Chains A and B, each alone.
Chain A
Amino acid sequence: MGGRDRGQAYTLEAFVAGLLVLGGVVFALQATAVTPLSASTSNQHVGNQERAVAYGLMGAAKANGTLEEAVVDWNKSGRRFVGSRPTTGEFSNAGPPNDFGRALNETFGDERTAFNVVLRFRDNGTLASQPMVDMGTPSDDATVATRSVVLYDDTPLTTGGTVSNDTFYAPDAEPYGPLFNVVEVRITVWRI
């Protein structure tokens, strides 16, 4: 009599045990689910490193003057960066054709790492921006590095003349003094 009921009990116990095991496995998989591109713990090292590299690159470029040179590498008549495509006025495949751009290419270009460079400055009380390199939309794990470049009214453009002219992308934020504007160079770096 008793043996006839135990079959159901065994089945139920087996199901419960199976569910527990399955639940544990699912939980474990949820806890470790990472893909190479997801912004998660596993590639945090990569993000930290890219950020440090970007800051190092900008620090060196600022110290040797190539960062400022890249900021004023402006084609007055074309109202775009020197060497950029006339249609967009920015670069999309690589850095600009100057020392700063070459440093960007050598640092990130060969490492399957994409970067955007945006210049931000004050325009009539609001924050305006001028893209220099636009490689696309950054992924979730992109990191950002910024540095400031101070421009004066008499800072020369690489193409002749000074920044104080109507065709330069940034306006004179301080008309009463020698200061022209403070340009924030912002590099966004991400792995592709």
Chain B
Amino acid sequence: MADLRGSRDEDRDRGQLLLVAALAIATAIVALVLLLNTSIYMENLATRDTDTGASEAVAFRNTVEGNLWRVVEAENDRTYASRSTLETNVTRRTNRFVELTAARHRRSGVVAELSNTTLDEGTRLVQNDSTRQLTDASGTPDWELATDADGVREFEVNVTGGLTTSSAPVAQSDAFGVIVEGSGADVWSLFVYNNGGEQIAVKNGSESTPTNVCSGGFYAEDPRVNLTAGTVNGTRCSAIDFAKGTDPPYDVSYQYGNRSTGTYRLTANTSSVGNVNGPGPTTPPYEMPVVYSVSTDVVYRSPELTYRANVTITEGSS
């Protein structure tokens, strides 16, 4: 009992000590837990997907850029007589294309659309009667096919006969020729003539006289010259480089269209064309309205990202 009695004074302080110690330990553990929790939360934040969906926006744009032209060109090939009908249908087809393409983005709460869409006017000129001379609708031999065209594509002339005989390159200027006058009066021209065999001569913008090009092996048949692709009867002829040395806008004319017969077809980025029939497929030569290119803003708007890119979609972008 002496022990108990002796320890009585010391025991009087132990209760407080225990309480304080327990509280201190508990506070320390709670603080530790909070710290641990914070670090876990920080790691969560750090590894959370920070991708704003930019790759989806680019994927939408790529899909539009890579596929829309095919939809538009199909309408161009439908030979409309009226430009407003063509443009209405191109707009309808484009809207449907975007509706189908953007569907998966819209399902995830994203606005994916095309806005400020403008259709650039173009005209396709066609002569598909191989026995007809390359004159205008009223038979004029020297005439302008397209005026102020910012671009020309798919320009193919198939000369089928009746070529003027020319003995020397200098006389090429008396033969059937395609004359392209750029801005600043630089002229690129291409002549097809007969010099004991069919010959092609080209004059670039910086040159003063034409040069014979692509002889030998090219003319097993009547020359089918693709002026914009640079081929003769399907064979590459690098010397034919459309409008080399000139700058757009181009005025495209024929000279001595009465000295040859043939077919041709070209698409020019202008609505101002020469004396031809149409619009619509009729007696050659005729014109048809086409959409030369589509300029539009690809818009992709999600809660994290607003993306807008202006793209021009035309032949070759698909």
Give A contacts to B, CB under 8 Å: 2-3, 6, 9-10, 13-14, 16-17, 20-21, 23-25, 27-28, 31-32, 41, 44-45, 48, 51, 55, 120, 122, 127, 146-148, 150, 152, 173-174, 176-179, 181-182, 184
In Å, the complex CA distance between A176 and B88 comes to 13
B contact face: mostly helix, strand, loop, or mixed: helix
The reply to whether B49 and A147 contact each other, CB–CB distance below 8 Å, is no
Q: A28-B36, A178-B71, A179-B71 are in contact. Are A10 and B18 (CB under 8 A)?
A: yes
In Å, the complex CA distance between A138 and B85 comes to 50
The reply to whether A55 and B55 contact each other, CB–CB distance below 8 Å, is yes
- CB contacts between A and B, total, < 8 Å: 115
Question: B33 an interface residue at 8 Å Cβ cutoff?
Answer: yes
In Å, the complex CA distance between A3 and B12 comes to 8
Q: In the complex, which residues 25-42 of chain B have their Cβ closer than 8 Å to any Cβ of chain A?
A: 25-26, 29-30, 32-33, 36-37, 40-41
Distance to closest chain A CB from B107 (angstroms): 8
Chain B residues lying within 8 Å of A179, measured Cβ to Cβ, are: 67, 70-71, 93, 96-97, 100
Give B contacts to A, CB under 8 Å: 4, 8, 11-12, 14-15, 18-19, 21-23, 25-26, 29-30, 32-33, 36-37, 40-41, 43-44, 47-49, 55, 59, 63, 66-67, 70-71, 74-75, 89, 92-93, 96-97, 100-101, 103-104, 107
Given contacts A148-B101, A174-B100, 5 further A-B contacts (CB under 8 A): A6-B11, A127-B103, A150-B63, A150-B67, A177-B71
Q: A25-B29, A177-B96 are in contact. Are A150 and B15 (CB under 8 A)?
A: no
The reply to whether B47 and A48 contact each other, CB–CB distance below 8 Å, is yes
25 examples of A-B residue contacts, CB within 8 angstroms: A13-B15, A14-B18, A16-B22, A17-B18, A20-B25, A20-B26, A20-B29, A21-B22, A21-B29, A24-B29, A27-B30, A31-B33, A32-B36, A41-B40, A44-B48, A122-B100, A147-B59, A148-B104, A150-B67, A174-B97, A177-B71, A177-B74, A179-B97, A182-B100, A182-B103
Distance to closest chain B CB from A5 (angstroms): 11
The reply to whether B96 and A41 contact each other, CB–CB distance below 8 Å, is no
The residue from B37, B67, B89, B93 contacting A31, defined by CB atoms under 8 A apart: B37
The reply to whether A41 and B47 contact each other, CB–CB distance below 8 Å, is yes
Q: A13-B15, A13-B19, A17-B22 are in contact. Are A182 and B47 (CB under 8 A)?
A: no
In Å, the complex CA distance between A176 and B21 comes to 83
Chain B residues lying within 8 Å of A16, measured Cβ to Cβ, are: 19, 22
Chain B residues lying within 8 Å of A10, measured Cβ to Cβ, are: 14-15, 18
The reply to whether B23 and A150 contact each other, CB–CB distance below 8 Å, is no
